[in-house]
Structure 1
Amino acid sequence: MLEPEHETVTEVERARTRCCVCVLSCLLLACLYVGSLYVWRSSLPRDHPSVIKRRCASVLLVSALSPAVVKAWMYWADVRVDASVWKLMGVRLEGLIPAAILPLLLTMVFYLGPLVHSVMDNPEGFAGELQSALDVQSWRLCVGDVVWLRNQVVAPLTEELVFRGAMLPMLVPCTAPTAAIFTAPLFFGVAHFHHIIEQRRLQKDSMRVILLVSGLQFLYTTVFGAFTAFIFMRTGHIVGPVLCHSFCNSQGLPDISSALKHPQRSALLFSYLMGLLLFLVLLFPLTDPLFYGAIPVCSLAPPPVSVC
């Protein structure tokens, strides 16, 4: 008569253990990623080429080790699925082309206002913007710039692989897909607090200003992290979050204050509003799992599956 109750208690304990292992694994990855930035002792600023090269090497190494962390988590948490670690982390071929194009298109729609702003400020208009985007010489200069490589290539690739590709598969069995989308970005947001150390070391601003800037950075990196986590869970690919991250890094935060002072303010504000509305309308259609095939990470989700 006591066996069913005993089995229920055992299942609860097993679930708690799995969640503990999950959180500890995510913390380990976050600490490894941020800690790798500081293994190189230097008094130089973070944008110095030598600092950038060393830090890029460090985070690339951590990213390369992240599949091993996921594999170890699967062993200790006793998780058994048919998909490989790489597929769980979003590295797969099925649905790759739409996964690379549609989420990026969705992100560009959100940035409709800033993109229109750039076209208006370009003397040659849309043709000038397009020519600049396709200019081979400009791309060569970018590839030779370590700051550009860090912001547009290394940071998006490593951060998405670690904070989305590795962490979400570990969080899903514990929190379910929807909660995982909002939990994983917290690790991502907190990881950016390390900038406080650098700003304090350079002593450019007061501690109050540094904390305010860091708080705002935590807010928008967490919101952005939730967006790319949503894309990952809906597409089962890491390529979409990486490309969206790179594009957002190139654009920065939308400059509403500048739009308000623009001579063509009404047209600009309309484009900002239309971008937001279209983004909300297209959010679910462009991330429909039907475009991307079976999503491996969803096999880890406890029933009922709400987002996958």
Structure 2
Amino acid sequence: MGGYNQEDNPFLVSSLTPVFLAAFYVGSLYVWPTKHDRDHPDTIKRRFISAAFVTVFSPVFLIYFGAPHLLNKYSIPEIVGLRLDGLVAALVYPLVLTIILFLGPTVVLLTDSRFLSFCCPAVWKQNLQDWIWWRNHIVAPFSEEFTFRACMVPILLGYYTPSQAVLISPLFFGVAHLHHMIERIRKGQGVMLSFLVSLFQFTYTTVFGMYSSLLFVRTGHFVAPFVVHSYCNFMGFPDITEVMNFEPKKRVIISGVFVLGLVSFCYLLNIILEPSMYNNNVYMTVA
């Protein structure tokens, strides 16, 4: 299969197409006229339709503007990471690696009485009936990872190296979250506070985007960043202030677990994300 001829200006094609793809994703969320905020069921349902539309049409950008060396050799499902070979490994190992990174917050959660609620079937039944839960843990991770990783990274690889693509693609992902600033202002939050909150969100979503892009390139599977994204949304950003409020002995132990998780993650990163473990023939030569 051959894509759009990038030989005349591969830099322009591989740089501008992701901009339009990101704008396509964010713009689709605002085509619906509504007086409700983003957490209202009506807003969420309409944005689910937008997310589904973008997910279906994002591969069109890839087909026409993707890296020719990928389009000429592999099928679209293979390029976007929809394949069975190495699927179980891609489903398990990156998630385990991420749990190690979140070792501190995980221990805090397990020692908290609130953890018992997750063992209650009634709580899960309530979650499955909650539109916000579906948005945060299923629809948003799926549509965002498919658009910003599975479809955008192969476009960037038409000009940029894999390392550059891993660093660049999260910028579009981070910017795509800045629209929340508008919604906060509409709710009555001050402009400066909204800006600072959005700047913080941009920072950590960009850092996560780098990790997620690395997962996609190293494993060659869409499921890896999708499952990890869903897990990170479940865990949330680590609450350092909660740790500081523990009694001294517990605070020292938990802080040590936080450090242990981070150090272990850094040590295991390249080991667990070895492309050959996932039979990654698509991106192995460029990872």
* Residue of structure 2 equivalent to 1:8: none
Q: Which runs of 5+ in 1 are unaligned?
A: 1-12, 124-128, 300-304
* Inter-partner Cα distance in structure 2 for 1:74 and 1:281: 33
* Inter-partner Cα distance in structure 2 for 1:103 and 1:79: 24
Report Cα offsets for 1:116-151 as digits up to 9, x if no partner.
11222228xxxxx4x654544332221111000000
Alignment of 1:149-298 (within 5 A): 149-203=134-188, 205-263=189-247, 264-298=250-284
Corresponding position: 1:137 with 2:129: no
* Contact 2:276-2:284 within 8 A present in 1 as well: no
* Contact 1:169-1:297 within 8 A present in 2 as well: no
Q: Which of 95, 108, 118 is the matching residue for 2:109?
A: 118
* Inter-partner Cα distance in structure 1 for 2:121 and 2:271: 34
* Contact 1:112-1:275 within 8 A present in 2 as well: yes
Larger Rg: 1
Alignment of 1:20-31 (within 5 A): 20-31=12-23
Alignment of 1:28-47 (within 5 A): 28-47=20-39
1:283 match: secondary structure:
helix
* Inter-partner Cα distance in structure 2 for 1:110 and 1:80: 35
Letter of the structure 1 residue corresponding to residue 152 of structure 2: M
Percent of pairs with identical residues: 38
* Inter-partner Cα distance in structure 1 for 2:125 and 2:213: 31
Q: Which of 82, 91, 105 is the matching residue for 1:100?
A: 91
Corresponding position: 1:82 with 2:73: yes
* Contact 1:189-1:222 within 8 A present in 2 as well: yes
* Contact 1:15-1:174 within 8 A present in 2 as well: no
* Residue of structure 2 equivalent to 1:57: 49
Letter of the structure 2 residue corresponding to residue 91 of structure 1: L
2:258 match: secondary structure:
helix
Report Cα offsets for 1:20-76 as digits up to 9, x if no partner.
11222211111111001100111111100010010011011101111122112149x
Report Cα offsets for 1:204-238 as digits up to 9, x if no partner.
x2111111111111100000000000111100001
* Contact 2:70-2:79 within 8 A present in 1 as well: no
Q: Which structure has the highest helix share of the two?
A: 1
* Inter-partner Cα distance in structure 2 for 1:221 and 1:230: 14
* Residue of structure 2 equivalent to 1:3: none
TM-score by length of 1: 0.86
Q: CA deviation at 1:298?
A: 4.9
Q: For the aligned residues, what is the CA RMSD?
A: 1.9
Letter of the structure 2 residue corresponding to residue 288 of structure 1: E
Report Cα offsets for 1:144-171 as digits up to 9, x if no partner.
1100000000000000000000000011
* Inter-partner Cα distance in structure 2 for 1:174 and 1:18: 6
* Inter-partner Cα distance in structure 1 for 2:69 and 2:210: 27
1:114 match: secondary structure:
helix
TM-score by length of 2: 0.92
Q: Which runs of 5+ in 2 are unaligned?
A: none
Q: CA deviation at 1:14?
A: 5.6
Report Cα offsets for 1:238-285 as digits up to 9, x if no partner.
101001100100111111111011121111111111111111111111
